[in-house]
Structure 1
Amino acid sequence: MSPTSLRRVVVVLAATVGVAACGADAVSPLPVQPPDPTRSTPAPSATSPIPPPAGSPSRPPPSGARPSAAAPPAPTRTRGTPRTTPPPTDATPACQGAVRYDLPLAETEIELLTSLCFGTGAVLRIQGIGPGLVTVDRPDLVAQQYEAGVVDIRFVRTGTVAVTIPKEGREHTITVVVR
């Protein structure tokens, strides 16, 4: 490719990128977004032949000046703005969904783990135990598999399952709620 044709490609690409960037500033806010009360658009004067720019209220209009080195102000939340999710509370434990929960027995204080909550399809993987040692009180709610020192318990139906794990001569029970 010759230097002249390469310059033409660069100019065309620069013009295309410039047009695409201008279109991004003309996006209007979603109907659920409240307007920013700290920003106001000046009204056009009767002597001004140029109307004010029609930018998004959440984004300032483009300017030719370089951005300042100061950090942008922290976003504030106005009163009355609804939350999308409720705040977490200690009264109801959070369910983890259909995840794989690894429980390495050599690294875990199993006495501290008394209950878990999962979604249907989750797997409790108990690592570092022999075959046939882990038991459940509701085998109709789980699918259990052992291989190479690892027990996988897949929770296939909703309900509550007590998983019993022997360690150091004691049996530890973990209550698993499946939603």
Structure 2
Amino acid sequence: MNAASLRRLVVVLAATAGVAACGADAVSPLPVQPPGPSRSTPTPATPAATTMPATTLATPATPATAGSPTRPPPTSARPVPAPPAPTRTRGTPRTTPPPVDATPACQGAVRYDLPLAETEIELLRSLCFATGAVLRIQGIGPGLVTVDRPELVSQQYEAGVVDIRFVRPGTVAVTIPKDGREHTITVVVR
């Protein structure tokens, strides 16, 4: 037997003795935790385990960390190149549509209160809602609020309040008279 074969045999025997000593009671520490105090009571089935140092026993029993996220990849591994980022030049159309649901400018199926006495209606040009939203205009007379696409809304009036429920997706122009002028709010319904 040559020296290399003898070393392999010693490593295999040490690993076998370490695995046999691991029984149900022994737990190896995680790679990020320092090893705790080792048990001093040897198991009767492995008398060779008492003669070996504790570091030899812990080495074969620790889990393999080749794919561990705490260690860097081996140097022989080649990094995978990232795909090139799409480039946009001026005038090229957008390849992906904008998000529909959670955009900051577009609200969900909410009730939007618009009290005319407290709102500068001239500053409000457009709104965006999901289907099912209600635009509640407060402080206006009956029949004064008009929409250009009545097939997309359900409109009701009661006690100075106009409720416009947007029942289908599309764009609706809501016209509100105030101070002798007509103000149009463009509402996009998704």
The normalised TM-score by structure 1 is 0.52
Mind listing any 5+ residue stretches in structure 1 that lack a counterpart? 1-39, 50-91
Instruction: Give how far 1:41 is off.
Output: 4.1
Counterpart mapping for 1:14-93 below 5 A: 41-45=32-36, 47=38
Counterpart-to-counterpart distance in 1, 2:173 and 2:39: 76
In structure 2, the residue matched to 1:130 is: 141
In structure 2, the residue matched to 1:98 is: 109
Whichever residue aligns with residue 131 of structure 1, its letter is P
Whichever residue aligns with residue 118 of structure 1, its letter is F
Residues 41, 48 of structure 1: alpha-carbon distance in 2 compared, 3 angstrom cutoff: farther
Instruction: Give how far 1:45 is off.
Output: 4.1
Whichever residue aligns with residue 135 of structure 2, its letter is L
In the TM superposition, what whole-angstrom CA distance separates every residue of 1:124-173 from its partner, at most 9, and x where no partner exists?
00000000000000000000000000000000000000000000000000
Counterpart-to-counterpart distance in 2, 1:43 and 1:116: 59
In structure 2, the residue matched to 1:115 is: 126
Instruction: Give how far 1:121 is off.
Output: 0.3
Counterpart-to-counterpart distance in 2, 1:167 and 1:124: 17
Instruction: Give how far 1:95 is off.
Output: 1.1
Question: What secondary structure sits across from 1:140 in the alignment?
Answer: helix
Counterpart-to-counterpart distance in 1, 2:180 and 2:39: 87
Question: What secondary structure sits across from 2:143 in the alignment?
Answer: coil
Counterpart-to-counterpart distance in 1, 2:158 and 2:184: 21
Residues 146, 46 of structure 1: alpha-carbon distance in 2 compared, 3 angstrom cutoff: same
Q: Report how many aligned residue pairs link the two structures.
A: 98
Identity in percent: 85
In structure 2, the residue matched to 1:141 is: 152
Counterpart-to-counterpart distance in 1, 2:124 and 2:154: 21
Whichever residue aligns with residue 121 of structure 1, its letter is G
Q: Which has the larger radius of gyration?
A: 2
Whichever residue aligns with residue 178 of structure 1, its letter is V
Question: What secondary structure sits across from 2:122 in the alignment?
Answer: helix
In structure 2, the residue matched to 1:65 is: none
Question: What secondary structure sits across from 2:151 in the alignment?
Answer: helix
Counterpart-to-counterpart distance in 2, 1:48 and 1:105: 79
The normalised TM-score by structure 2 is 0.49
Residues 105, 46 of structure 1: alpha-carbon distance in 2 compared, 3 angstrom cutoff: same
- Which residue of 146, 151, 166 maps to 1:155? 166
Counterpart-to-counterpart distance in 1, 2:163 and 2:124: 17
